[in-house]
């Protein structure tokens, strides 16, 4: 099993920044890709960004150029730096880890961007 714990969410004004962190514990040696998803009220969960163990990244078009995903393999932690935040970025942000045969999810952290 892998446990994921997110932190760093909160309330910020439009144009501001937040940094999310997700620390993994347990069977961390099984983790390949890690990433961030988000889910807004009444909407489907969507990919925000993913990063491979080697540092390759994928971003949703809506966040490209504003968000940066990074990873510290020694600390088993993935980060999401969010700049120039917009009200439409408001959602619960969930950390995800690909454990090979199993996908693991964190409990989520709320990000609210006020206009």
pLDDT tens for the chain, residues 1 to 115: 999 999 999 999 999 999 999 999 998 888 999 999 999 999 999 999 999 999 999 999 999 999 999 999 999 999 999 999 999 999 999 999 998 889 999 999 999 999 9
DSSP letters for the chain: -EEEEEE--EEEETT--EEEEEEEEESGGG---EEEEEE-TTS--EEEEEE-TT--EEE-TTTTTTEEEEEETTTTEEEEEE-S--GGG-EEEEEEEE-SS-EEE---EEEEEE-
């Amino acid at each position: 099993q892998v446990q994921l714990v997110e932190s760093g969410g909160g309330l910020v004004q439009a144009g501001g920044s937040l940094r999310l962190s997700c620390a993994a514990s347990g069977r961390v040696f099984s983790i390949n890709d890690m990433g961030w998803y988000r889910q807004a009220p009444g909407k489907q969960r969507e990919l925000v960004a993913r990063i491979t163990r080697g540092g390759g990244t994928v971003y949703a078009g809506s966040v490209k150029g504003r968000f940066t995903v990074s990873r510290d393999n020694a600390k088993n932690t993935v980060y999401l730096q969010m700049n120039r935040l917009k009200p439409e970025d408001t959602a619960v942000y969930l950390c995800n880890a690909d454990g090979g045969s199993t996908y693991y999810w964190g409990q989520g952290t709320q990000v609210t961007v006020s206009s």
